[in-house]
Structures are given as C-alpha cells and as structure tokens.
Amino acid sequence: MSDRKEREPYLRMSGVFKHFPGVKALNGVNFRLFPGEVHALMGENGAGKSTLIKVLTGVYAIDRGEVELGGIPVSIHSPQEAQNAGISTVYQEVNLCPNLTVAENIYIGREPRRFGRILWKEMNRQAEHLLRERLQLTIDVTQPLQMYSVAVQQLVAIARALSVSAKVLILDEPTSSLDRNEVAQLFKIMRKLKEDGLAILFVTHFLDQVYDISDRITILRNGEFIGEYEAASLPRIELVSKMIGKELELQGNDPARSGRTGAPKEPLLEAVGLGRKGAIEPFDLTIGKGEVVSIAGLLGSGRTEMARLFFGADRPDQGFMRLTDGSGSVLSPRQAIDNGIAYCSENRKTEGIIDDLTVRENIVLALQATRGWVRRIPRKKQEELADHYIKALNINPPHPEHLVKNLSGGNQQKVILARWLLTQPKLLILDEPTRGIDIGAKAEILKLVLSLAEQGMSVLFVSSELEEVVRVSDRIVVLRDRKKVKEMQEDIGQQQVMQAIAGG
C-alpha cells in the first residue's frame, strides 16, 4: 500500500450513528476503506457489523454522521444507489437463482441488448471473459448455476458484483460454507482483486482467515467504534480482548473458581470422535457427574453446534456418544430427554418458549412430553409444580396463568430452566443462558448453575462472557474455527482462556 493511497481512502465513514428503539446499533462509528486493501470488520454478536454493512448498502438510513465516497459526501438511499456508487455486496447465503445459467445470473436485469432483444451470445462471451480474466475461473457459463459447487457459486456472485464496475466489494462471511481448499482459492482471487485496486470489506468469524488475508482490521463492540489497526501489528490476543471487551491488564488476578476441583469426577457421558460436517470437527469430550464444563470460543467457533450434538438436536455424522450407565443412543431431542439430558437453546424465542401458552403450560411441557399424551399431569399438580418453580427461581410476575410472551427475557429464561429442572436431568446444557437478560437475573442463573452442580447435576455451559465461564466452570473446553483446540482444568483465568481462544 503506497503512501498516496494511505492518505486517500475511497470510502470514509465518520461519527455514524444508527439507533433502533432500545438499541444503539451504531454509536459514533468511524470506518475507512482504501483502494487495494482487504479490510476485516470484526466484532461479536450485536457489535454492529451487519448494521454497518446495511448502512453502506442503502438498506438503513443513518441518524447522524457522514459517509464520503472518493472525497464526496453521499447519502445512500437504496441498494440500487449503492450499486451505482460502486458498492457491491456478496452475502453469506449466495442469493442467486440456481436454475438460471451462470451467465444469466451475472447479467440478470442488465443483459446486453439490441432493439430490446437480448444478445445471448454476447452475454455469454462477456460472462466467460469476466470469470476468466478477473477470477481465473474457466467454466461453461451456459450451464445452470446449480451444477456447480457452493464455492463456484460464491465466485459467480462475486463476478456479478464486479460486473457493475465495483470499487468497493463487501464480502459478508463468504467462507462460512467453504472447505479449506475453496477458501484458499477464494483468497487467491481476493488478493488478485486487491492488486487490481479494489477495496474489499471482509467479514468473518474465523481468526486465522483474518490474519491470512487482511491488511487492516476495524473492531466494533456493542455499536461502539473500538479502533482501526494494521493487521500485522495487532496481536491475536489483543484482537480477541478488544472484541469481547476485556482489558488484559485487569485480568490475571481474577479469582478462578476454587474448592470444587480436585478429585476427578466419575464420568457421566463420553463423546468419541463426535462431529458434524460444516458444524464442528470431530472431538472427544468426557463430562463427569456433578461437573460444570464450559465451552468457550468466539461467535461462530462451533459452541452451539457442539452443544446441539450432545442433545441430538442435530445429528452427528461422525463418531458417537456414550452414556456411562449404558443407556441408549441420542439421535433426537426426545431420546436425549429420555436419557436425562436437557437443553436450553440460545434462541429463547424460536427454540425455547411457546409464547402463546401460559407460564404453567410452558413449565410442564417437557415433563408432559415424556409422560406421553394420555397420562396428563392433573391440573392441580401442574399448578403445584409451576408454583414451586416460580418461587424457587423467583419468576416475576409470580402468576402461573400469565402468557409467557408478556414476561421479560430473564423471566422467560427462568421458565425454560424450570421446564428442564422439572424433568430432573442428569446433564443440563445451557447455551447462552444469560444473553439479553438483566444483571440481577444473570447472577441468579449463575448461582443456580453452581447449586445444581453441588447437588450432583452435570452442566454443560456455553457462554460468550468469559467472566461467567471462568466463574462457574470446573473445566473449560476452548473452540476455535469449529475445532476443539484446548481443554483447561487448572489455573483457569480469563487471560489463559483468552489466550487459548486467540491461539497463535
């Protein structure tokens, strides 16, 4: 990158604000993109990455702030305007038409015409030329797109973006469904495009890839602008700590959980080579009775995918899982429940509560499911159970007949916890149980986790909050880029965990 380019960013956003009711999605964010660079935009869930992209592509209007393109202030009102301004986007899911030909997909809506007639030959020739020259891809452009692999489809999407004389290319998680070789191929092409002077904005959750390809990194957190860095001079550990918002200096003296480690626990469950393609690479993991095992890692590192395999919510395609009491296999949630496993999903609304039912009905649901439809839990008994857990977990408002949709997030979470505690599980899997709930409820839930473990229940705890992970765990499993990279048992401190997450 020459000095002249350094002085002249093609795209400059300064002090950009975008608020939604109750959410400050972008709070004074700055962003610069230079021609001929790959710029990684990093941040955890809710950091504001997608909002920033949507602002750039004209989906959202900004509340305040400036956007300049080539030194001229602009305001982009629609995706069409963004394209005309030279900003093209390739989204995570390829949104092309699989049944149309490659050439049609590239030129749809902009076909070369004469007297209103489409010049098919000309179009195919141009498509072939574009793919060959700029993406080094030689394929038959008259074949339907669905004939080709996801990786090629991704390249076609990029070709479509380039065909509108793009100056800025936004790649939103382009690698999430590609394998290693395909990623390498994509990176080769990205490097070539970079040399051609294109400015590339790259979003990914894979740390290795960030360092592989990016020149610069901009970090956002909770809608705040954290900083812009040269990739070469930003150590991984610092990147991670800036993303999750923990200053390194404050770390070391964090009291790790003590007193409960020591004697090795009798194993409850054992996963051997368990894995699922595209979700998580095969791993071994043993969970002891009464043990709290945490899964730590960045967003997209495979935390949820791992938890779901344990519950049979997704089927593994490799390896197996064994319960030490020798009971049956776990290939569906129902089998998991019958084997004493319970799972609180991170998606409370779509996979947790039944919003139109009452608190009571939500609480008894899983227990009733195991009893079958004939042996209904008598109404009186249902009320007793609901009342018991409303008191025990401090659910507010304390009315079993309230619709669960009218409760706050934290109380909904407690309702789901109650649902599972009622089944008296041997292993409780909690996926981000404290996300989006207030501090008081968070503390209560953590306390509950610890007291359950005291009583002999095993807990598999997934959280992006390192502080929580460190506080409750006997053992921490660290994931990176959909792979189990480390298991930590002793001297668990936030810094060590962060180091493991960042890798080397």
Partner 1 sequence: MQIHRHHLFWPLAMLAALLLFNLIYSPDFYSVQVRGGHLYGTLIDILNFGSPLILVAIGMTLVIATGGIDLSVGSVVAISGAVACLTISRGSDQGSIGLILAAIGLSLALAVVLGLWNGMLVSTIGMQPIVATLILMVAGRGIAQLITSGQIITVTSEPYAYLGSGSLLGLPFSIFVVAALFAAAGLLTRRTALGLFIESVGRNPGASRLAGIRSRYVLIAVYLFCGLCAAIAGLILSSNVSSADGNNAGLWYELDAILAVVIGGTSLTGGRFYLTGTLIGALTIQTLTTTIYMIGVPPEITLVVKAFVVLVVCLVQSETFRKSLAHRWKTRRYPAEREVAKHA
Q: Which residues bind partner 1 (CB under 8 A)?
A: 311, 313, 333-334, 337-338, 343, 345, 350-357, 361, 364-366, 368-377, 419
Phi, psi of 433 (to 5 degrees): -70, -15
Nearest to partner 1 of 170, 321 (CB atom): 321
Nearest to partner 1 of 115, 373 (CB atom): 373
Please state the length of the chain. Answer: 504
CB of 399 to partner 1, least distance (A): 13
Nearest to partner 1 of 83, 382 (CB atom): 382
| Residue at token pair 């649902």 | 419
Nearest to partner 1 of 242, 419 (CB atom): 419
| Residue at token pair 């490097």 | 191
Rounded to 5°, the CA angle 43-151-481 comes to 35
Rounded to 5°, the CA angle 348-350-353 comes to 55
Nearest to partner 1 of 285, 313 (CB atom): 313
Nearest to partner 1 of 220, 359 (CB atom): 359
CB of 414 to partner 1, least distance (A): 16
Residue 71 burial (CB < 10 Å; 0-12/13-18/19+)?
A: exposed
CB of 349 to partner 1, least distance (A): 9
CB of 298 to partner 1, least distance (A): 24
Of 318, 310, 364, nearest to 336 (Cα)? Answer: 310
Nearest to partner 1 of 241, 358 (CB atom): 358
Residue 311 and residue 429 in contact, taking contact as beta carbons nearer than 8 Å: yes
Nearest to partner 1 of 175, 423 (CB atom): 423
CB of 361 to partner 1, least distance (A): 6
CB of 469 to partner 1, least distance (A): 23
* Rounded Cα distance, 141 and 103, in Å: 5
Nearest to partner 1 of 22, 262 (CB atom): 22
Question: No. of H helices and E strands in the chain?
Answer: 18, 21
83 sits in which H/E element: helix 79-84
Residue 455 and residue 226 in contact, taking contact as beta carbons nearer than 8 Å: no
Tell me the residue ranges of DSSP E strands in 354-496. Answer: 427-431, 458-462, 475-480, 483-488
Cα-trace Rg, the chain? 26
CB of 173 to partner 1, least distance (A): 23
Of 473, 484, 42, 38, nearest to 279 (Cα)? Answer: 484
CB of 313 to partner 1, least distance (A): 6
Q: Report CA torsion sign: 227, 218, 55, 5.
A: positive
* Rounded Cα distance, 137 and 135, in Å: 5
C-alpha atoms less than 13 angstroms from C-alpha of 241 in its C-beta half-sphere: 18
CB of 310 to partner 1, least distance (A): 13
